[in-house]
Amino acid sequence: MMTTSVKIPSLETDKHPLQNEGLRPPVTQCPDEPRSPGWFRHLKFFTAGLLLAIIAVRYVVPTFGGFKLGVPETPLDTKAVCPKTSAIVPHTHADILKKLEAEYANESFHDQAFAWLGGAVKIPTQMYDDMKQPGEDPRWDVFKKLHSYIDSHFDFVNLKKTNINTYGLVYHWQGSNTDLKPILFTAHQDVIPVAPDTINDWINPPFSGIWDGQWLWGRGSCDDKPGLIGSLAAVQKLGKAGFKPERTIVLAFGFDEEHGGIIGATKIRDHLLSTYGEDGFAILIDEGGFLEGRTDGVIATPAVAEKGHFDLRMVVSSAGGHSSVPPEHTSIGILAALIAELEANPHEPHLYRDEPYFTALQCQAILNSELDDDLRGLIKKSRSSDKALFDLEKKLFATDVLADALSKNTQAVDLIGGGVKSNALPENAYAVVNHRIAQHSSVSAVKAHIVDTLTPIAKKFNLTLDAFGDELHGMSNVVSSGHLKLTDAWGTALEPAPVTPWIENSAFDFLAGTIQTVVKTSKRWNNPDIPVAVAPGILSGNTDTRYYWKLTKNIFRYRHVSRFDKYNGAHTVNEAIFAEAFIDLIRFFTITILNADETDLLG
């Protein structure tokens, strides 16, 4: 793709950005002072009144126009507007990179790489929510096929392989300098199941692994077999090119990420902690953020944080009986009212200047020429104006579904059930509601919102209520019509992840500089001068890194693939990846390893 160069405006970088916007200093009492003369006291009263009037005009009056009450317009430090880094290029290993780049550009390697990925996609490593432990469920057997496939196609002379809880894979490539912390790449082997009734909707069969000359098709082609096969390919090619690392390299592949990593990632975590210790890795790179390429520039957004999650299970219990003599509302009818009330009272989205998404927006305003001019202006003004920030929220959330979702706690009713026969009243009806929790919120805040929203409905239908273990009886003086129980559906509630710093963090600078190099030397962009911005992102879902917080403070969720390189996204029909993007992903893993071996940014 031919591109044109656009210069990124220079930004001031002399201040620190992360301040608690809108928070006032605590009020302190002054010590007793000598009594002032009368005329001076009158002057003080006049001055105080004048100050109150100014405050009223500045803060109270604007609330009638929709401003936020009492929040001073505090400027955002411009260093966080859109972080700028220089490209990092391997020097000591320049010959190895030159050799591999020539090989990666060859059509024969493309054919081989696409065959590697396609072969892995053909193996249906589907993950179901009711999987038992390995050895207790035959559905795990397909993972043995994947392991045999990897062993037969990748020859790792220098790597030590460890199986964790049967199907977890950890590869260790020992470096010569034990003073350097290792780097860790993670991915997962499992994929979301394909619904049988959607098979005919696929352009190519869901486990075909077909490369049609442009796209590579099949479940897992986006999520996350490119990460699995791409990192394995890079390590193999580096070894065969004669690379001998100074810094140890570790690959860790879970096998039940799509079910929360409960069986796989937890055991891998324990192994990594016992082997390498807490904060034992310089950096961890997993799936997550992506890059967005346009003709006038590229924006990459490695996720520095993940939203938390909470799955609500609500169960309505009521008397059964023959449906020919029904009550006014069955348990299913009451459950429907509860669901409707939750959906009628969603959490409100907000933008916060010290959160990653706000920084990503600033990069968009600078680099994305397709951005609406009014929106671009609001984004820039919102750095220092709270009115502009408020107006930006209204405009952005009304037009951008993703922005709305990233900026609030989300809720989605995903499971429902109840009843056994059409002429029998259902004794129980249930629903499971998935919540993704924003950085500025918490599990307890989500629970409080649920209880506040549903308690009036429970009272309306005269239900007793068990709200997360708190029994609330006596909704009225009338005998209870039933019972509502609210619980954590799977016992897997998760607070939002710790945020990896992106300001004055050498690990972020390392990743950003590496991304710069991968983009600027890519045959796809064909433009060494293309502007590249790397901004922090936030992941709306969760990866296996939810269990890896103690392994390193530098967790980045990033796949070097454009969102335009995914035919229809993941977790749905017609999952496919633009095949050339997979080559650049292998290049990303390769250059990251070479740079990590030379840099002093990772310690």
- Look at residue 113 and tell me whether its pLDDT is greater than 70: yes
- Look at residue 278 and tell me whether its pLDDT is greater than 80: yes
CATH of the domain at 422: 3.30.70.360
Same domain as 325, residue 288: no
Same domain as 328, residue 281: no
118 within a domain of the structure (yes/no): yes
Same domain as 314, residue 291: no
Same domain as 326, residue 459: yes
Task: Show the CA angle centred on residue 570, arms to residues 577 and 255, nearest 5°.
Answer: 100
Break the chain down into helix, strand, coil percent, rounded to 5: 35, 20, 45
How many C-beta atoms surround the C-beta of residue 348 within 10 A? 11
Same domain as 261, residue 113: yes
The count of C-alpha atoms lying within 13 angstroms of the C-alpha of 267, restricted to the half-sphere facing its C-beta, is 19
Nearest 5°: phi and psi at 534? -120, 110
Characterise 288 by phi-psi region: left (phi > 0), alpha (psi -120 to 50), beta (else): left
CB-CB contact of 575 with 203 (8 Å):
no
CB-CB contact of 532 with 516 (8 Å):
yes
Q: Which of 473, 496, 519 is the last residue of a domain?
A: 496
pLDDT digits (tens, 9 = 90+) for 524-557: 988 999 999 999 999 999 999 999 999 999 999 9
Mean pLDDT on 310-325? 96
Whether 257 is a known active-site residue: answer yes
What pLDDT score was predicted for residue 601?
96
144 within a domain of the structure (yes/no): yes
Annotated binding-site positions? 188, 223, 258, 286, 571
Catalytic residue of the set 77, 190, 311, 580: 190
* Closest by Cα among 83, 81, 62 to 73: 62
pLDDT digits (tens, 9 = 90+) for 359-368: 999 998 988 8
Residues 6+ apart with CB under 8 A from 303: 288, 289, 356, 536, 537, 538, 539, 556, 557, 558
Q: Which of 469, 496, 523 is the last residue of a domain?
A: 496
Same domain as 442, residue 475: yes
Same domain as 261, residue 316: no
362 within a domain of the structure (yes/no): no
* Closest by Cα among 572, 540, 332, 339 to 433: 339
Q: Report DSSP state, residue 311.
A: E
**Three-state SS annotation for 481-507:** CEEEEEEECCCCCECCCCCCCCCCCHH
Same domain as 274, residue 335: no
Number of structural domains the chain divides into: 2
Same domain as 281, residue 312: no
391 within a domain of the structure (yes/no): no
59 within a domain of the structure (yes/no): no
With a pLDDT cut of 90, the percent of the chain lying above it is: 79
Mean pLDDT on 212-241? 98
222 within a domain of the structure (yes/no): yes
CB-CB contact of 271 with 184 (8 Å):
no
490 within a domain of the structure (yes/no): yes
pTM here is 0.84
- Look at residue 62 and tell me whether its pLDDT is greater than 60: no
Whether 190 is a known active-site residue: answer yes
CATH of the domain at 549: 3.40.630.10
Q: What is the mean pLDDT of the chain?
A: 87
Same domain as 445, residue 563: no
Catalytic residue of the set 77, 256, 257, 597: 257
Query: Which of these ranges, 79-88, 533-542, 543-552, 590-599, has the smallest mean pLDDT?
Result: 79-88
Which amino acid makes up residue 337?
Answer: A
- Token digits of residue 419: 């009843």
What pLDDT score was predicted for residue 473?
55
165 within a domain of the structure (yes/no): yes
Annotated binding-site positions for Zn(2+)? 188, 223, 258, 286, 571
Same domain as 255, residue 126: yes
Write the CA distances from 314 to 16, 317, 359, integer angstroms. 45, 10, 37
pLDDT digits (tens, 9 = 90+) for 416-462: 999 999 999 999 999 999 999 999 999 999 999 999 999 999 999 99
Residue 484 domain boundaries? 308-345+409-496
Same domain as 290, residue 312: no
